[in-house]
Structure 1
Amino acid sequence: MPRRVAILGTRGYPSYYGGFETLVRTLAPYLADTGWDVSVYSRPGAIELQDPARDHRIESITTRGLDSQSLSTLSFGATSALSAIRRRPDVALVMNVANGFWLPFLRAARIPTVVNVDGIEWEREKWGANAKRAFRVGAQLTASHATSLIFDSAGIADRWTTGFGRDGTTIAYGGTVPGELDVPPGLQSGAYALLVSRFVPENTVEEFLDAAAIIAREHDVVLVGSSGYGGELDARAERLAAENSRVHWLGHVHDDQHLFALWRHAGAYFHGHSVGGTNPALVQAMACGAPTVARDTVFNREVLGDHAIFVQPDVSAIAAAVTTLLRSRTVQRDLAAAAEARARRCYSWDSVCEQYDVLLRQHVARSDRWGRKDISGASSVSISAPGRFDANLPTASGQ
């Protein structure tokens, strides 16, 4: 009989909203290929059931919640957890520490939980004080009640080891190396700057929009993304595009091939994310060979190595670095080739999915051995580098 895994905490399958959704679009079919019965919890209206890329072996389960910036994750997480408790999968893969509030109930139902903790949500500028406190409490509950943790970078693993006394397994995100792609209409290969980002302050969007006005004196600038809820950054991008014909605001791009082509032919991709570990958009940009100017953080340096230009979150510094890169095709080619090679070497989707598969199977086997009599002791998998897995499951006490 196939083992059953439930995936909670994303917008659903298939969804194109963010990094978790990209992971699930790749992981869910992989798990089905290896014999899993896969269910993914979804939000109403977040998925397209007629999507031609949909794998019909994957069950989508829609639950209700409050679709607001501050309450959506908590409310949809609650209804998904209640449904999972009724359906009793063999293991639950949970995304985001905000769902830590519901882990005690899954634990009481003796369902092993593997939690991808994502970034340091309680430090994100977009959240108010109450939301930050909620994420912090969710993280503490995750540390205490999750059966196992997944970190997407060594930097995130260090924060959890020192801050919560929990270790886990490090599994990064993967990137798809595309084939030949046509230059996006209206643009010239190697001659435009590109931003791909959710419009939130910690992604250095405000500074890049200011820099874009300077860059656009000589070069095209393409903006991909939005806040998802409207707001000042969206309004600024709209005004900038209306006032300058060199600035193109595309909003959220659902078509992967279009997005890959934008990265592939960019002369300079700016990556301003500052809070979090391995960023899925950055890994995919590398796989597409995008020459990158990145905000100087420990997380971005971990992913990029020496294959980028690093800057501080300063308008003048961003504008100067991007403009200089756009003027040098030789530097563009060198950075692009090195980034793509690093993506192939360190961030393969096959390796990422295999590690998830092995980890999930380990917890099902552990639950079978114990007959689900007690999964209350928080356990973890020793930290491993991308592409490696250590199947030892020592007991660790959560904080």
Structure 2
Amino acid sequence: MPSVAVIGTRGYPSYYGGFETAIRKLAPYLADNGWDVTVYGRPGSTRLDDPDKDGRVTTRITKGLESKSLSTLSYGLSSSFDAARHRPDVALVMNVANGFYLPLLRSRGVPSLVNVDGLEWERAKWGPRARQVFRTGARFTAKWASGLVFDARAIESHWNEHFGVEGRFIPYGGDVPPMMRVPEGLTHRGYVLIVARFVPENSVPEFFQAVPAIAAKYPVVIVGSAGYGGELDATAADLAATNPSVSWLGHVSDDGLLLSLWQHAGVYFHGHSVGGTNPALVQAMAAGAPVLARDTVYNREVLGQNGVFVKADPDSIATSVLQMMSNARALDTASKANLGRAEKHYAWADICGSYEESLRMLAAC
């Protein structure tokens, strides 16, 4: 039985973000295919009593520093040391910040498959020192990883050009849900939705500035938070407190509620600008949400020729949202197009199969 250690997520099962969603899908898939799976995690970030937890997957909690700038590095270090001690056949490593520890794994004969994620050093939320850490981690990853995974073709091209390395394109997937109930207090295609971590590169400030104009005609539902408090959380709270048409739900870990919100939304605004294939965008498409996306190479790659795009400007966002909401037939067309594209290009079964194939090749080396 081949063994794999997963390093760089918050654990299994966890509902924090895209990495965690991918591992919730991949870990049971690997177990089904005869793998001994261990997922490293952080204290308090996993639901060990989750009824959907696969008992064949081992969750191992290690120590680290819980802070915005040090959590990834510290938990990655402790996880990598533990994995090096146990010597699995292969390690699946998420995020180039953990690239610093790949020489340790290699010294113990553990090959590594690294999902490089997006271009973290371009994210506005990081200061100069953190950006340098991510860029250096990327250099370590390019040198020491046994294999690389790129979740977008544009990310793959960047690594080819700037680091001179090849890898495999494996995007994120989306679940096509059954027809779900409309969330309480809302109507089908009658509200505008944003689901995002509250950071500037997700166009959250611009969307918040557009909210009053949108909320004058349609309800607005805001899902997300900064995770550590701050100005954008305060702005969301103020918008909800001063406008009865605005609801701020904070971070939502209930997959059923999120799927229902996407499925019945009139417009889902996706403002992410840095990164590759965004898990929230793919899942929104799979749920059949009509999407208005910030105009980036990554969002165009995912949505394709039928996508609707807008620049990161409050007036442009408000105008585009209102135009889309006023045309029910166009919303229905967009919903069907997005769902069809998700089924064709972003099915979890295909994605998990690609990961399993790559891991098995490295484990056999």
- Taking structure 2 as the reference length, the TM-score comes to 0.99
1:100/1:138 contact within 8 Å kept: yes
Counterpart of 2:267 in structure 1 is 268
Counterpart of 2:144 in structure 1 is 145
What is the one-letter code of the residue matched to 2:276?
Answer: G
Name the CA distance, whole Å, in 1 between partners of 2:235 and 2:128.
25
Counterpart of 1:287 in structure 2 is 286
Tell me the CA shift for residue 228 of structure 1: 0.7
Name the CA distance, whole Å, in 2 between partners of 1:18 and 1:206.
21
**Segments of 4+ moved more than 4 angstroms:** none
Name the CA distance, whole Å, in 2 between partners of 1:356 and 1:171.
8
Q: Secondary structure at the match of 2:355?
A: helix
Counterpart of 1:351 in structure 2 is 350
Q: C-alpha offsets along residues 48-107 of structure 1, whole Å, 9 cap, x if unaligned? A: 111111111100000000000000000000000000011100000000000011111111
Name the CA distance, whole Å, in 1 between partners of 2:114 and 2:258.
29
Counterpart of 1:392 in structure 2 is none
Counterpart of 1:72 in structure 2 is 71
1:151/1:169 contact within 8 Å kept: yes
1:304 equivalenced with 2:303 (yes/no)? yes
1:166 equivalenced with 2:165 (yes/no)? yes
Counterpart of 1:36 in structure 2 is 35
1:87 equivalenced with 2:86 (yes/no)? yes
Which one has more relative contact order, counting CA pairs under 8 Å at least 6 apart? Answer: 1
Counterpart of 1:179 in structure 2 is 178
1:81/1:102 contact within 8 Å kept: yes
Tell me the CA shift for residue 180 of structure 1: 0.9
Counterpart of 2:227 in structure 1 is 228
Q: Secondary structure at the match of 2:40?
A: strand
Tell me the CA shift for residue 237 of structure 1: 0.2
Q: Secondary structure at the match of 1:310?
A: strand
What is the one-letter code of the residue matched to 2:189?
Answer: G
Name the CA distance, whole Å, in 2 between partners of 1:352 and 1:127.
30
Name the CA distance, whole Å, in 1 between partners of 2:31 and 2:329.
44
1:52 equivalenced with 2:78 (yes/no)? no
Name the CA distance, whole Å, in 2 between partners of 1:39 and 1:213.
47
Name the CA distance, whole Å, in 1 between partners of 2:291 and 2:114.
30
What is the one-letter code of the residue matched to 1:231?
Answer: G
1:189/1:266 contact within 8 Å kept: yes
Q: Secondary structure at the match of 2:305?
A: coil
What is the one-letter code of the residue matched to 1:164?
Answer: F
Tell me the CA shift for residue 168 of structure 1: 0.2
Tell me the CA shift for residue 358 of structure 1: 0.5
Counterpart of 1:4 in structure 2 is 3
Tell me the CA shift for residue 307 of structure 1: 2.4
Counterpart of 1:320 in structure 2 is 319
Counterpart of 2:239 in structure 1 is 240
Q: C-alpha offsets along residues 190-227 of structure 1, whole Å, 9 cap, x if unaligned? A: 01000001111100000001111210011000001111
Counterpart of 1:386 in structure 2 is none
1:202 equivalenced with 2:182 (yes/no)? no
Counterpart of 2:26 in structure 1 is 27
What is the one-letter code of the residue matched to 1:330?
Answer: R
Name the CA distance, whole Å, in 1 between partners of 2:285 and 2:314.
24
Counterpart of 2:211 in structure 1 is 212
Counterpart of 1:375 in structure 2 is none
Tell me the CA shift for residue 246 of structure 1: 0.4
What is the one-letter code of the residue matched to 2:315?
Answer: S
Name the CA distance, whole Å, in 2 between partners of 1:103 and 1:161.
20
Tell me the CA shift for residue 309 of structure 1: 1.3
Q: C-alpha offsets along residues 128-174 of structure 1, whole Å, 9 cap, x if unaligned? A: 11100000000000001001100001000000000100110000111
Tell me the CA shift for residue 323 of structure 1: 1.0
What is the one-letter code of the residue matched to 2:109?
Answer: R
1:43/1:76 contact within 8 Å kept: yes
Q: Secondary structure at the match of 1:61?
A: strand
- Taking structure 1 as the reference length, the TM-score comes to 0.91
1:362 equivalenced with 2:361 (yes/no)? yes
Tell me the CA shift for residue 308 of structure 1: 2.3
What is the one-letter code of the residue matched to 1:132?
Answer: R
What is the one-letter code of the residue matched to 1:68?
Answer: S
Name the CA distance, whole Å, in 2 between partners of 1:52 and 1:239.
36
Tell me the CA shift for residue 111 of structure 1: 0.4
Name the CA distance, whole Å, in 2 between partners of 1:12 and 1:117.
18
Tell me the CA shift for residue 364 of structure 1: 1.0
Gaps in structure 2 of 5+ consecutive residues = none
Counterpart of 1:97 in structure 2 is 96
Counterpart of 2:251 in structure 1 is 252
Tell me the CA shift for residue 243 of structure 1: 0.4
Q: C-alpha offsets along residues 357-396 of structure 1, whole Å, 9 cap, x if unaligned? A: 0100001111xxxxxxxxxxxxxxxxxxxxxxxxxxxxxx
Name the CA distance, whole Å, in 2 between partners of 1:53 and 1:233.
33
Name the CA distance, whole Å, in 1 between partners of 2:147 and 2:33.
21
Q: Secondary structure at the match of 1:38?
A: strand
Please show how residues 101-112 of structure 1 align to structure 2 within 5 Å.
101-112=100-111
Tell me the CA shift for residue 179 of structure 1: 0.5
1:291/1:308 contact within 8 Å kept: no
Aligned length: 365
Name the CA distance, whole Å, in 2 between partners of 1:191 and 1:306.
25
Q: Secondary structure at the match of 2:64?
A: coil
What is the one-letter code of the residue matched to 1:344?
Answer: E
Name the CA distance, whole Å, in 2 between partners of 1:20 and 1:202.
19
